[in-house]
Amino acid sequence: MIIDKLHKRVQDKGMVCVGLDSSLDYIPQEMKEKYQDTDQIIFQFNKRIIDATGDITAIYKPQIAFYEAYGIKGLIAYSRTLAYLRSEGHLSIGDIKRGDISSTAKMYGKGHFEGDFETDFITINPYMGFDSITPYLPYVESGKKGLFVLLRTSNPGARDIEYLESEGKKVYYHVGDKLAQMAEDFMGECGYSSIAAVVGGTHVDEAVEIRERYRRLYFLIPGYGAQGARGEDVRMYLKDNNGGVVNSSRGIITAYKKHEDGYENFDRYTREAVLGMREDIGFEG
């Protein structure tokens, strides 16, 4: 199953997920002048990051908003990036956060598990109800695709809804408990399910309880770096250096900006950012 592939990648390469939030503002001026067309600029930027980090990165996560914002050419770059990741044998998460039901969700599944935008995992939002998840299950049943479902997110506004109390427990625990039941039907040999959860690393008070409560859910952990979560914080959501991937976007893809010779040594500084992140979290590979 796809979760077994991810588990093995983390075991071998570490728990880093590189977020390809590839805004034109983040891209070196020299690269913009060289390639000129938006789709080429973004794709070549992504390709350079992937080539510099592929052997030390478990999975890549392009956030679709950063591509939709540039229209058709942005989506061409998104498609080319996913195709390149597949051709190089890398895993990917299409960070699309869809949250609709019925035929609409079915078409989202077709759009992002097949065709031009095909990816290994997608992120989805369950807060419209669990019938917003079921249309994707045939893809999960195939063993080739997986879901990262929003559980408890990293933003401060998570407390507005996710932390509300209902029937003696927080809303996100209602979501997590139901998700854990659903996940049991899609377990991999690694002991985790291909139905996984997004759990923000910026809230640490309940980290131990969440990891213990959802032992068989794999986690996508955003919030490291720019959003404030530290290595010691996100480590609490892992188990034996596995059980989840930790996302960093700006901290990696703009690492070159911290140095005067950033563009000339773009590959080196990008790679060093991933290596430093692995070490900070505690990877012992």
For residue 278, the model assigns a pLDDT of 96
Q: Which two tokens stand for residue 6?
A: 């991810």
Per-residue pLDDT of the chain (285 residues; tens, 9 = 90+): 999 999 999 999 999 999 999 999 999 999 999 998 999 999 999 999 999 999 999 999 999 999 999 999 999 999 999 999 999 999 999 999 999 999 999 999 999 999 999 999 999 999 999 999 999 999 999 999 999 999 988 888 888 888 899 888 999 999 999 999 999 999 999 999 999 999 998 878 888 899 999 999 999 999 887 667 788 889 999 999 999 999 999 999 999 999 999 899 999 999 999 999 999 998 876
Q: Are strands 165-166 and 219-221 parallel, antiparallel or unpaired?
A: unpaired
Contact 17, 57 (CB under 8 A): yes
Cβ proximity of 46 and 62 under 8 Å: yes
* Both structure tokens of 168: 């003696």
Report the distance separating Cα 213 and Cα 9, nearest Å.
24
Tokens describing residue 107:
């078409």
Q: Classify domain 2-281 by CATH architecture.
A: Alpha-Beta Barrel (3.20)
**Cα–Cα distance, 198 to 151 (Å, whole number):** 5
What is the structure's pLDDT at 153? 85
* C-alpha dist (Å) from residue 73 to 42, 49, 68, 217: 9, 19, 9, 36
- Residue pLDDT, tens place only, 199-223: 998 878 888 899 999 999 999 999 8
pLDDT at 24: 97
Q: Quick one: pLDDT at residue 47?
A: 98
- The pTM of the full predicted model, rounded to 2 decimals, is 0.96
**Catalytic site positions:** 97
User: Alpha-carbon Rg of the chain, whole angstroms?
Assistant: 18
